[in-house]
């Protein structure tokens, strides 16, 4: 059994995978990553650990210590120039986030055609993967929740409150919720236009805000629970 780890800005997402497929997935707040010990105790023996970590070296070291106590050592991936059917054209390929690289690999494995690979978490990323598996580049913007909270923290009269999407909002809370959602949708749809003419082009959407975004997106769409884990699952033992 492989333990696969997606260590993001606010949560650790984990998955247990073998040749037969997934045997469980879940998530833990970064403040509670010690709960990973319960995952290890409750499942089949783990033969290897592979992860993508964008939460920093300190958290990586904490996880290494937790795993070492159980006789395990994590392999932490970086972004290469090319691999697993994807070519990375970042000006400095190593500067591409490990999570974005793994998500591109997962997208290529699940959909072998042009794709806009969107992760909607603390930040939203929208990465262009053409039909030949070439990562052409992408954008990063504040995530949906971060957009809403920034208005509450940086303006005197726009407090953070629950709002809902409305075509023409007539409450401030709804105006904020709708405006932030439109900003996310607009960025995604504009990026999708770059591949819209390619045969079978699809937006692959994952992340914590996917359920909020998906009903309103006006482009061909597939929601995937965690593209980073899907990508890690395609990386062989020698990686």
All domains in the chain, ordered by first residue: 2-76 (3.30.420.40), 113-227 (3.30.420.40)
Q: pLDDT by residue (tens digit) across 25-71? A: 999 999 999 999 999 987 789 999 999 999 999 999 999 999 999 99
Banded model confidence at residue 157, pLDDT cuts 50, 70, 90: low
Kindly state the average pLDDT of the residues 157-180: 82
pLDDT at 163: 79
Check if 130 is active-site: no
Whether the pTM exceeds 0.85: the reply is yes
Any idea which of 50-59, 154-163, 173-182 has the lowest mean pLDDT?
A: 154-163
Which burial class, exposed, middle or buried, applies to 188 when counting CB atoms under 10 A from its CB (0-12, 13-18, 19+)? buried
- What is d(CA 74, CA 48) in angstroms, rounded to the nearest whole number? 7
Phi/psi for 122 (5° steps) reads -55, -40
Indicate which residue of 99, 127, 130, 162 is catalytic.
Answer: 99
Banded model confidence at residue 158, pLDDT cuts 50, 70, 90: low
Q: What percent of the chain has pLDDT over 70?
A: 95
Kindly state the average pLDDT of the residues 172-181: 89
Backbone torsion region of residue 128, taken as left when φ is above 0, otherwise alpha when ψ lies between -120 and 50, otherwise beta: beta
pLDDT at 153: 64
Q: pLDDT by residue (tens digit) across 106-122? A: 999 999 999 999 999 99
190 vs 46, 141, 195, 218, 222, CA distance in Å?
42, 13, 10, 11, 17
- What is d(CA 94, CA 79) in angstroms, rounded to the nearest whole number? 5
Any idea which of 49-53, 99-103, 123-127, 165-169 has the lowest mean pLDDT?
A: 165-169
Paired tokens of 62: 């904490």
pLDDT at 137: 98
Mean pLDDT over all residues of the chain?
93
pLDDT at 171: 86
């Amino acid at each position: 059994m492989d333990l696969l780890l997606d260590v993001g800005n606010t949560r650790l997402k984990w998955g247990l995978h073998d040749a037969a497929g997934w045997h469980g997935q879940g998530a833990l707040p970064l403040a509670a990553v010690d709960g990973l010990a319960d995952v290890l105790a409750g499942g089949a023996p783990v033969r290897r650990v592979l992860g993508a970590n964008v939460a920093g070296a300190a958290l990586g070291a904490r996880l290494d210590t937790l795993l070492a106590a159980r006789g395990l050592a994590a392999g932490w991936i970086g972004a290469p120039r090319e691999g697993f059917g994807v070519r990375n054209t970042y000006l400095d390929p190593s500067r591409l986030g490990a999570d974005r690289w793994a998500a591109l690999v997962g997208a290529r494995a699940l959909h072998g055609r042009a794709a806009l690979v969107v992760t909607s978490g603390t930040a939203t990323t929208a990465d262009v993967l053409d039909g030949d598996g070439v990562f052409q580049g992408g954008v990063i913007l504040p995530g949906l929740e971060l957009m809403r909270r920034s208005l509450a923290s940086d303006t005197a009269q726009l407090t953070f409150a629950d709002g809902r999407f409305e075509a023409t909002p007539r409450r401030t809370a709804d105006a904020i919720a709708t405006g932030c959602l439109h900003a996310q949708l607009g960025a995604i749809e504009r990026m999708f236009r770059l591949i819209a003419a390619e045969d079978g082009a699809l937006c692959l959407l994952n992340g914590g805000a996917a359920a909020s975004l998906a009903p309103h997106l006006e482009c061909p769409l597939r929601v995937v629970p965690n593209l980073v884990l899907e990508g890690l699952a395609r990386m062989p033992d020698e990686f």
